[in-house]
Structure 1
Amino acid sequence: MRNRGSQVWQAGFLCVLAVIVGLVRATDVEPAKDKSVRERFMPAPVEGKVWKLVWADEFEGQKIDQNKWEIMGDWKRRDGYWVKEDAYLDGQGHLVLRTKKNGDRYTCGAVRTKDKFEHKYGYWVCRCKFPTQEGHWPAFWMFTPGVGKVGDEGRDGTEIDVMEKPWREDKITQNLHWDGYGQAHKHAGKTFEFPGVSQGWHTFALLWRPDEYVFYVDGKETWRSSAGGVCQVPVYAKLTEEIGQWGGDITKADLPDYFLVDYVRVYDEAPQP
Structure 2
Amino acid sequence: MSLVDPNTPKDARPLGLPDSDNLKLVFSDEFTTAELDTTKWTARDQDRGKGNSGLEWWYKSSNVRKATGNNALAIDVGKISDTVYSGGRIDSQGKFDFTFGTLECRMHIPPTIGHLAAAWLQSAVGLPEGPNVTARTGSEIDIIESFSTENQYAVTLHWGGYGQYHKQSSVTVAAPNLHNTWYHTLGLSWQSDKMLFTFDGNIIRTITDANLISQVREFPIFSNEVISFAQGDIRKAPLDASCTVYVDYVRIWQ
TM over 0.5: yes
User: How many equivalent residue pairs?
Assistant: 234
Instruction: Give the CA deviation at 1:146.
Output: 3.3
Identity over aligned pairs, percent: 28
Instruction: Give the CA deviation at 1:168.
Output: 2.3
Where does residue 78 of structure 2 map in the other structure? Answer: 100
Q: 2:206 aligns with which of 199, 207, 224?
A: 224
Give the structure with the higher percent helix.
1
Structure 2 unpaired stretches of 5+: 1-6, 51-55
After TM superposition, the structure 1 stretch with the greater mean CA deviation from structure 2, 223-232 or 59-68, is 223-232
SS of 2:126's partner is: helix
Give the whole-Å Cα distance in 2 for the aligned partners of 1:133 and 1:267: 30
Give the whole-Å Cα distance in 1 for the aligned partners of 2:121 and 2:225: 15
TM-score (norm 1): 0.80
SS of 1:56's partner is: strand
SS of 2:33's partner is: coil
SS of 1:251's partner is: helix
Q: Which amino acid aligns with 1:89?
A: K
Distance 1:156 1:40, change over 3 A: closer
Distance 1:60 1:211, change over 3 A: same
* Match status 1:50 vs 2:22: yes
Task: Indicate conservation of the 8 Å contact 1:211/1:229, yes or no.
Answer: no
Instruction: Give the CA deviation at 1:74.
Output: 4.3
Where does residue 86 of structure 1 map in the other structure? Answer: 63
Any residues of structure 2 matched to 1:232-247 within 5 Å, and which? 232-247=215-230
Q: Give deviations 1:183-234, integer Å, cap 9, x for gaps.
A: 2222112102222111211011101000111110011000111343411111
Give the whole-Å Cα distance in 2 for the aligned partners of 1:139 and 1:146: 19
Q: Give deviations 1:29-70, integer Å, cap 9, x for gaps.
A: xxxx85224146242238xx7011110011012100010001
Q: 2:115 aligns with which of 124, 136, 140?
A: 136
Q: 1:249 aligns with which of 209, 225, 233?
A: 233
Give the whole-Å Cα distance in 2 for the aligned partners of 1:120 and 1:86: 30
Give the whole-Å Cα distance in 2 for the aligned partners of 1:171 and 1:207: 20
Task: Indicate conservation of the 8 Å contact 2:104/2:252, yes or no.
Answer: yes
CA RMSD of aligned residues (A): 1.9
Q: Which has the larger radius of gyration?
A: 1
Structure 1 unpaired stretches of 5+: 1-32, 269-273
Distance 1:142 1:63, change over 3 A: same
